Amino acid sequence: MIAWTIYLTLAGAVLLLLLPCRFARWIALLTTIAGLALGLIALVRTPIADLAHFTTIVRVPWVLALGMNYHLAIDGVSLTMVLVTGISAVSSVLFSWDVEHRQNEFFFWLLLVVAGCYGVFLSADLFLFFAFYELVIVPKYFLIAVFGSTNKEYGAMKLTLYSFFGGMLVFVGVLTAYVTAGTLDLNQLSQFQFSPQLQAWALPVLFLGFAVLAGIWPLHTWAPTGHVAAPTAGSMLLAGIVMKLGSYAGLRVAMNLFPQGFQMWSKWIVLLAVVGIVYAAAVALRQRDLKFVIGYSSVSHMGFVLLGLAATTGLSVSGAVLQMFSHGVIAALLFAVAGRMIYRRTHTRELDVLAGMDLSDALPFAAFTFIIAAAASMGIPGFSGFAAEITILIGAWKTYPFAVWVTGAGMVLVAAFTLRALKQSFFGEKERGVHLQEGRVPLDPDWNEQQNITAPEKCGACLLMLATLAVGLYPKVLLDRIMPAVEAMRFLK
Amino acid sequence: MILTMSYFELLKLASPETIVVITALAVLAIGLVTGHAKSRVTVSTMKSAQNTKDTSFAMGTCSAIAALGLVIAIGTVLMLPRNATLFGGMLVITPLTSLFKIICIALAFFTVLLTTSEKEPRHPGEYLALVLFATVGLMLLVGSEELLMIFIGLELLGLSLYVMTAFDKTDVRSAEAGLKYLLFGSTSSAFTFFGISLIYGMTGTTGLAGISQKLGAASVQPLLAVGIVMTLIGFAFKIAAAPFHLWAPDAYQGGPVPSAAFIASASKVASFVVLGKIVLVGFAPLHGNAAWHAMVAGWSPMLAALAALSILVGNLVALAQSNVRRLLAYSAVAHSGYTLIGIVAGDRDGLSAALFYATIYAITLVGAFGVVAMVRRETGGDNFSNFRGLVSRSPLIAGCMCVFMLSLAGIPPLAGFFGKFYLFSAALRAGANNGLLWLVAVALLGSFISLYYYLMVLKAIFVDEPAFPPVRHVYVVPSDLLPRTAVVVLAMAVFLLGVAPEILAAPILAAVP
């Protein structure tokens, strides 16, 4: 039944093209809610034992001549990712409730991204997987280039080309695996013994291709520019789930297919991950644009995922998967506050300017949300960020203790830039020049905006906060499903 | 054998060609009768409403008859026997030839539909007759395994195409394009003919099977190698592979849009079918090896070099274009390169992948040219600026162009994505020990570059504001309906072939010997 997440989302996208625009947002909302509901039902109903292996849901012959099947499967890792996709999708629709311009098209591209992500997380056929993976690239371009803000055409093109470049590397790896093993079935491929020589070169190509999307350090620059240029829903989806496509694929495909190659290269990946964590946090500390701060924080947090994967212990990889979930929710929340709640009302994201407004008075709900998001992002116990990052660090301690030391130091930087952003955006000192009416935000009179946080925004924010709190307080609900699935994977043995 | 062949038998086996020729003659006659009044008036610049009505009536009748003839021809191809050989391979009927005759006729059919979008058709009868004669050339090309007949097919095709390119008498670019195409084309014909004569001289036969036998039996002599290289150069001109591509940008940009569409689609598919047949059947013993560390002289390293060069040159030069037709021309060079990879692979898988790719490419390109024709008709040009804001003027057509461009770039779930996967996996499988990986890597690099310029077209359509206020309901004439339908049908085909590629891939794989 979980396969219907893909079908419903695609059906919603097609419907959007056919129906007039006054239905657009409702169609989008209903389809994304349906996706989330299906994910939750699967979470409750599927027995945990079934989630320990990549269990087939659908398997239909597709192109017989090439051995392609339409093959979907699920395990604990996929389920976690499906859940975070559903949550981010619903909240991103809620946070784009007042898109006026070319509504149908906007939600069409948005749903296409969501459907592609569901597809990637559920496919068990390498070709199908790759098709969904590439499907996500172009809708992002249109979302950003048509509906974005600051420097949108540049940001959109840069992001698309980076993703497509990664996609080309992946293409090489996928072809090599397919031609060598003669099958496209991921379960069969993960049993196949590739020669060590092949693994030694194919793994870095494949993993790097995926890691571009996950924002690995020297190839991360698309992420901040893209996030800044994107419309709010776009940034939420990008940081929330699209970046996870890269890390999920690295785990599901690269590490499972070429375990020996991964062993050879893991220390280099750890190096890049740690550099990424520290470097991006340091850069975030110096940004003036709130969205840039959050963009770099995404890169930093994704560094944790890569570290968890590269440490290759059961605990660290499970932590990485949990971090994918956690960061998906938190990043969406941060971008929602910065791009939507603040920017729509002040038309600026400059921290220096925001500092003069003291927004906590004017937008108390936004301030509250941002505090929660910041706390979760810093890794305060009780939120999902803490549960995930501590799992990663404990898991990685066995294999790369030095990396854990450096990362621990890096976490101070994360706290520093998060607190700085929080203070400047909401708790700055009121400058004398800016006169605010009580409970009002300085507005350009031409922009006839709503002053108060609207109901859809509140719903979206509550959904995200609830998710991070729930997982933070009771991580077992996901970890119980993730850990057996991870431990069944080959690279651990 | 010739003596035992009855004339009736020949007519039966060549019935599709015959029908197309008869249709061409009929269209020519009708064009003469109906367009007569008009051709006198065009001397003056005054155009009366009556006059326009006349031509559009002539256009309507001629294209209806041409389309009907092509449909009947497809029907007769379906009724041909599965296998037959006439005159020692001069005319061959196999599942492969029948399939590609149908594909070529279908592409010609869509070209005829596009012709109706021309704003001021001149001499529609003559133009459509040329399209049909070119189609006969394609059918002869596809349906022959004999070098002499192939050459005749090439010439029939070529001569029709030169005139079709130069057909727009009001546009100096068209004349320039026609002249360039004629000069390059006839040079390439000379190469081919010289090559063929050398091969005939050395092997004593023009049948492909016979040549293959002779080549396998004796050691290769230098003169024979020269013959093979020259033949291949001729074909490289035909498929616009770099460095023999210089005619393509002008022909694509200058000629009337339907001509360009025909050159880019049907002519290319047929050329690839013939090229595949010649090298894989005729020159089979001289395959050589194009694998990175194991290069062996033969035609495959030569084609591999052409492929790599075409991919790089085509994609890099396309980056700098600001005219959509010129951009499509350079992308065509690159796509010839991709398709050649399948032939370099040189086995059954590789050939069927190459033919699959050539076919979906042709379908995509006819559609893209259809969109160009409509934009041209509406805005008077085909630069990026003419495409600006197309999405607000005509969302449906903009969506179709999006499908075509993304399919060319190889984005799922469109046909181009599957085509590339099929092609590259066939190439990797053919070279032992991933030997052809270098070529695949070049192709992937090329297709990475290509996304940029395809996105630039889409950016003009979807992102940029219109360069001038949209003129609504000015050219809304009934004849717009046909090309519009054609474009939508082609876009749907591109999507369908991406989602369910087996519809086309399975017949091709079954037909390739």
SS3 label, residue B224: helix
A481, A488 in Cβ contact below 8 A? Answer: no
pLDDT band at A353 (very low <50, low <70, confident <90, very high): confident
Cis geometry, peptide bond prior to residue B243 (ω within 30 degrees of 0): yes
d(CA A315, CA A398): 10
A134/B412 Cβ within 8 A: yes
Q: In whole numbers, what is the pLDDT of chain B averaged over residues?
A: 85
Window 382-401 of B: residues touching A by CB (8 A cutoff) are 391, 399
A171/B411 Cβ within 8 A: no
Q: What is the DSSP letter of B298?
A: S
B477 CB neighbour count, 10 Å cutoff:
11
B462/A142 Cβ within 8 A: yes
d(CA A118, CA A86): 9
d(CA B470, CA B41): 32
Where do the structural domains in chain B lie, given as residue ranges?
287-513
Structure tokens at A280: 């991006």
Higher pLDDT, A397 or B58: A397
d(CA A41, CA A448): 41
Mean pLDDT of A9-36: 88
Q: Dihedrals φ, ψ of A440, to 5°?
A: -120, 160
Structure tokens at A250: 């690295």
A175/B440 Cβ within 8 A: yes
Interface test with B, best of A9, A18, A63 (most B CBs within 10 A): A63
Q: What is the DSSP letter of A380?
A: -
Interface test with B, best of A17, A138, A170 (most B CBs within 10 A): A138
d(CA B395, CA B400): 9
Using CB atoms, pick whichever of B418, B452, B459 lies closest to residue A153: B459
Over residues B312-346, the pLDDT tens digits come to 999 999 999 989 999 999 999 999 999 999 998 88
B422/A135 Cβ within 8 A: no
A135/B412 Cβ within 8 A: yes
Q: Dihedrals φ, ψ of A247, to 5°?
A: -70, -35
The ipTM, to two decimals, is 0.89
Q: With contacts defined as CB-CB under 8 Å, which chain B residues touch A19?
A: none
Where do the structural domains in chain A lie, given as residue ranges?
4-434+451-492
Cis geometry, peptide bond prior to residue B413 (ω within 30 degrees of 0): yes
- In B143-256, alpha helices (H): 147-165, 172-203, 208-217, 222-238, 247-254
Window 419-478 of B: residues touching A by CB (8 A cutoff) are 421-422, 424-425, 428-429, 434, 437, 440-441, 444-445, 447-448, 451-452, 455, 458-459, 462-463
Give the angle subtended at the CA of B497 by the CAs of B496 and B501, to the nearest 5°.
125
Mean pLDDT of A286-305: 88
The separation between CA A27 and the C-alpha centre of its own chain, rounded to angstroms, equals 23
Using CB atoms, pick whichever of B391, B411, B444 lies closest to residue A171: B444
d(CA B444, CA A168): 6
Residue A140 pLDDT exceeds 80: yes
Residue B1 pLDDT exceeds 70: no
pLDDT at A446: 47
pLDDT band at A267 (very low <50, low <70, confident <90, very high): confident
B413/A175 Cβ within 8 A: no
d(CA B329, CA A263): 46
Over residues B465-477, the pLDDT tens digits come to 876 655 555 544 4
pTM of the model: 0.91
pLDDT band at A451 (very low <50, low <70, confident <90, very high): low
pLDDT band at B42 (very low <50, low <70, confident <90, very high): very low
- H and E: helices and strands count for chain A: 24, 2
% pLDDT > 70, chain B: 92
Residue A447 pLDDT exceeds 70: no
Q: Which conformational region is residue B338 in: left (phi greater than 0), alpha (psi within -120 to 50 degrees), or beta?
A: alpha
pLDDT at A216: 85
Give the angle subtended at the CA of B254 by the CAs of B250 and B259, to the nearest 5°.
100
Q: Which distant-in-sequence residues (6+ apart) come within 8 Å of B179 by Cβ?
A: B166
A69 CB neighbour count, 10 Å cutoff:
21
Which helix (H) or strand (E) segment is A474 a member of?
none
Interface test with B, best of A172, A175, A194, A198 (most B CBs within 10 A): A175
Q: Which distant-in-sequence residues (6+ apart) come within 8 Å of A128 by Cβ?
A: A62, A68, A69, A70, A71, A72, A119, A184
Over residues A62-107, the pLDDT tens digits come to 888 888 889 999 988 999 999 999 999 999 999 888 877 788 888 9
- By the 10 Å C-beta count (0-12 exposed, 13-18 middle, 19+ buried), A394 is classed as middle
pLDDT band at B445 (very low <50, low <70, confident <90, very high): very high
B508, B359 in Cβ contact below 8 A? Answer: yes
SS3 label, residue A136: coil
% pLDDT > 90, chain A: 25
Over residues B228-286, the pLDDT tens digits come to 889 888 889 888 888 888 888 988 888 888 899 999 898 899 999 999 988 888 888 87
Residue B41 pLDDT exceeds 50: no
A23 CB neighbour count, 10 Å cutoff:
16
Structure tokens at B404: 């075509």
Structure tokens at B115: 């012709």
pLDDT band at B39 (very low <50, low <70, confident <90, very high): very low
pLDDT at B84: 82
- Indicate the angle between helix axes B324-345 and B348-379, nearest 10 degrees: 170
pLDDT band at A441 (very low <50, low <70, confident <90, very high): low
Over residues A359-383, the pLDDT tens digits come to 777 778 888 888 999 988 888 888 8
pLDDT at B49: 54
Over residues B184-231, the pLDDT tens digits come to 889 889 989 999 999 888 888 888 888 888 888 877 788 888 888 898
Binning chain B into helix, strand and coil, the percentages to the nearest 5 are 75, 0, 20
pLDDT at A486: 87
d(CA B126, CA B36): 12
User: If we measure between CA atoms, which residue out of B17, B140, B11 comes closest to residue B69?
Assistant: B17
SS3 label, residue B171: coil
d(CA A203, CA A251): 11
Residue at token pair 């539909």: B113
Residue at token pair 């000379």: B190
